[in-house]
Amino acid sequence: MDVATFMEKQSQYLAPAYHRYVDILFVRGEDSYLYDSSGRKYLDFATGIATTVLGHCHPKVVKRAKDQLDKLVHLSVVAPYEPPVQLAEILSRYAPGDLGMCFFTNSGAESVEGALKLAKIFTRRPAVISFRGSFHGRTLGALSVTNSKGVYHYGYRPLLPDVYVTSYADPSQFPGRPDPKLAAELALEELNRLFLYSVSPEDVAAIIVEPALGEGGYIFAHPDFLKGIREICNKHGIVMIVDEVQTGMGRTGKMFACEHAHITPDIITMAKGIANGLPLGAVVSKRDIMAGWFPGSHGSTFGGNPVSCAAAIATIETIEEEGLIERAGKLGKQALATLKELGAHPAVTEVRGLGLMMAVEFVSSEVQNKVRKKCLENGLIVVYCGLKENVIRLMPPLNIADADLERGIEILKQAVQST
């Protein structure tokens, strides 16, 4: 099918709600590259929004998924099978603290839905607190705690009741743009004021937080922020949910980004990179909390599908065997040092990052669009984020070749300098 015919059929048969960052028909992926219908290759720094953490069609992941396809594809809740139990055991080994029990889902949004339900049934409390700039998904519960853009809520109100929103430890959310440590202090003060003026802490089931804002602009919270939330939750018997959907699976140089703050959540939500592109998510919690779900109180038809679980096991084994978590931290520091050279450019507001989760913030969305299109012309795929859509985010595969990472950073630098 030629590209023009494909685009016409896409507009005819697929819902217009689907947003695409680039209008290119890709037909194949290998390692850190995508290939379009004409055979041109593009270096991929978007990785399906941080899903293909090992690049495209990693041979070990593909083989494990194919092997499982030949054995057993799906049973739903009719009977148990091995891959979900094997994966749960592996995740319990990597999860911080005593988080050792899993419920599998199909996506990040579904994981957030599950985490909210679990917190409510465990505490028997109605309220939830989330943060300005956060993104947790588009299903109704996840959407209710999402606050990265008002347009996401348009047409869907009323949302869930008893959801309270307060400032994230994002310097741009405070007058004078304070340093990250002071922003964390101010955000915690505002959270405590919420208890004074808006909701009693004894009514709060959960506080849900991203260790770094994803869609909200790749804002990396100072560790004091997560530590402060942990202390507040301990004090009031509130469940702390950390959303690691985009930050997890080694992306930041730790298996989970909350480890940088040396805290243990009560619940972690994960998805995206867990199965290197196959649909899978998870809710991982302490056993006493997960025990709040009696049989039948929650469920999923496809959650924990054995093919996706097999792919996830292969993904985590590869991350472990190749030392990719430590490598992400090392490569991220090197790449960020090079990117920091862009800080002097008048169109650049800030360069920031943690591991292989990096961002360049521009003075406007117009500048961001020009830079992004220039990158695409030169064979590099990057995508944007942020309230003002003025941030380019970089999320290359954890196993990207050194030369490919350097090439991508150089393409981006040249695109900025030509703006």
Q: Which residue bears the tokens 């003002």?
A: 388
With CA atoms as reference, report the closest residue to 405 among 364, 353, 346: 353
Is position 272 annotated as part of the catalytic site? yes
Catalytic residue among 117, 272, 286, 374: 272
Query: Crossing angle of helices 223-236/180-197, nearest 10°?
Result: 20
Handedness of CA 353, 43, 313, 72 (dihedral sign): positive
Q: Which residue bears the tokens 């092997």?
A: 67
How many CB atoms are located within 10 Å of the residue 127 CB? 21
- Quick check: helix, strand or coil at residue 1? coil
Angle at 408 between CA 406 and CA 414, to 5 degrees: 100
Is position 243 annotated as part of the catalytic site? yes
Distance CA 402, CA 386 (A): 28
Q: Which residue bears the tokens 């850190």?
A: 32
* Phi, psi angle pair for 249, to nearest 5°: 65, 40
Tell me 209's DSSP state.
Answer: E
Residue 92 burial class via C-beta count within 10 angstroms: exposed 0-12, middle 13-18, buried 19 and up: middle
Residues with Cβ within 8 Å of residue 71, at least 6 apart in sequence: 306
Catalytic residue among 103, 104, 122, 135: 135
CB 273 within 8 A of CB 256: no
- Quick check: helix, strand or coil at residue 44? strand
Handedness of CA 153, 290, 260, 404 (dihedral sign): negative
* Stated length of the chain: 419
Catalytic residue among 44, 170, 224, 243: 243
CB 122 within 8 A of CB 289: yes
Tell me how far apart the 2 most distant CA atoms of the chain are, in Å: 61
Distance CA 327, CA 399 (A): 8
With CA atoms as reference, report the closest residue to 216 among 78, 384, 51, 65: 384
Q: Residue 227 carries which side chain, given as an amino acid letter?
A: K
* Phi, psi angle pair for 98, to nearest 5°: -105, 30
Cite the active site residues.
135, 243, 272
